[in-house]
Amino acid sequence: MHLALPRPDLALTLERLGIALTEVERLAPIPGSYWGPPEAGLIGHRLYVRGDTPLHSALHEACHYVCMPEARRRSLHTDAGGDDAEESAVCYLQIRIADQLPGVGAERLCRDMDAWGYSFRLGSAWDWYQQDADDARALLLHWGILASDGTPTWRCRR
């Protein structure tokens, strides 16, 4: 069982990033979902979810929005694209943002990511985050997405 979406807290968090959380009806298709339901979808600045969308999926897609260059954000529809370095930054950022959500936290989100099937060299999302993610953190710092203390700046990459 995946972590449920903490709707009010998640909506407010995403709003800080310029992302509008948009819920669709139960069992309805999810617009912009790359993997298909129940995974979150992304079109422009709208993140689409339904009641059964896992939190890790919503955060992952939102963090793609934050980490991609502005030009790609302007034409964003379903496929966030990006290279391996950007994908690692997305994973790191979603864990940092999970730490800002009451009742979620980094460790719980990492367990959820592992249950879904995220794959990291060290075998688990938590081990990667703790021991092997310096390159992802450095990119986020360079892009101005994380502050030097590791907290989100609530800004998107330019």
pLDDT number for residue 59: 96
pLDDT number for residue 3: 58
How much is the pTM? 0.94
Predicted confidence (pLDDT) at residue 1 exceeds the cutoff of 60: no
As a whole number of angstroms, the distance between CA 135 and CA 104 comes to 24
Question: CA 56, 62, 66, 67 torsion: positive or negative?
Answer: positive
Q: Which of the two residues, 118 and 83, has the higher pLDDT score? A: 83
pLDDT number for residue 32: 97
Residue 117 confidence class, pLDDT cut points 50, 70, 90: confident
As a whole number of angstroms, the distance between CA 76 and CA 85 comes to 19
The model's pLDDT over 4-34, given as tens digits with 9 standing for 90+, comes to 667 789 999 999 999 999 999 999 999 999 9
As a whole number of angstroms, the distance between CA 122 and CA 153 comes to 28
Which H or E run includes 6? Answer: none
DSSP 55-78: HHHHHHHHHHHHHS-HHHHHT-BS
Predicted confidence (pLDDT) at residue 2 exceeds the cutoff of 90: no
Angle, CA of 24, 105 and 36, to the nearest 5°: 30
What is the bridge-based pairing of β-strands 20-23 and 46-49? parallel
DSSP code at position 105? -
Residue 118 confidence class, pLDDT cut points 50, 70, 90: confident
The model's pLDDT over 47-100, given as tens digits with 9 standing for 90+, comes to 999 999 999 999 999 999 999 999 999 999 999 999 999 999 999 999 999 999
pLDDT number for residue 129: 95
Where do the DSSP E strands lie in 12-146? Answer: 20-23, 41-43, 46-49
Residue 119 confidence class, pLDDT cut points 50, 70, 90: confident
In 10 A of CB 24, how many CB atoms?
17
8 A C-beta contact, residue 126 and residue 107: yes
Phi, psi of 83, rounded to the nearest 5 degrees: -100, -175
